[in-house]
């Protein structure tokens, strides 16, 4: 999943529309801008709050940033085989997955979850994968 995001290959509303699907382009998480990979993971207010809380949870002080800078930063922090790097990788992968899943649930199933609920799912995933 993480690799697909980095390569710009996940299905977001803008990509689905380019393929001819009749879909609302508006980001279903914040309802302020069209959904794209850049917006969904680095520009959305909803995901910005989620990233800020995750970074605080991991004791990392860093403002959320744009797509390219974010990917370079992720490469730096997730490099290596240390337990810290492994936890960062697991957390990042879980966050990306649950953000994408939340967006899809809102688009296709009209289901909504709070940031707190998503954070709980991410924490559970990190815990189960790290043990």
Can you give the pTM of this predicted structure?
0.84
Report d(CA 105, CA 82) in Å as an integer. Answer: 34
Instruction: List Cα–Cα distances, 126 to 53, 65, 92, in angstroms.
Output: 15, 23, 9
The values of phi and psi at residue 34, to 5°, are: -65, 145
Give percent above pLDDT 90 in the chain: 39
Can you give the residue ranges of every domain in the chain? 2-130
**Residue 11 has what pLDDT?**
83
Find tokens 């801008």 and name the residue: 33
CA angle, residues 108, 110, 111, in degrees to nearest 5: 110
Please name the residues in contact with 72: beta carbons below 8 A apart, sequence gap of 6 or more: none
Report d(CA 119, CA 53) in Å as an integer. Answer: 8
**Digit-coded pLDDT (tens) for 4-34:** 777 778 888 888 888 888 888 899 999 999 9
**Digit-coded pLDDT (tens) for 112-126:** 999 999 999 999 999
């Amino acid at each position: 999943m993480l690799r697909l995001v980095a390569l710009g290959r996940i299905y977001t509303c803008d990509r689905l529309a380019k393929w001819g699907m009749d879909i609302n382009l508006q980001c279903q998480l914040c309802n302020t801008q069209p959904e794209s990979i850049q917006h969904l993971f680095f520009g959305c207010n909803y995901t910005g709050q989620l990233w800020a809380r995750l970074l605080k949870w991991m004791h990392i002080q860093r403002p959320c940033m744009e797509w390219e800078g974010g990917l370079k930063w992720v490469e730096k922090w997730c490099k290596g085989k240390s337990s810290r790097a492994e936890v960062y990788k697991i957390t990042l992968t879980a966050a990306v997955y649950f953000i994408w899943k939340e967006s899809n649930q809102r688009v296709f199933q009209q289901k909504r979850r709070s940031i707190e609920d998503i954070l709980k799912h991410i924490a559970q995933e990190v815990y189960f994968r790290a043990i």
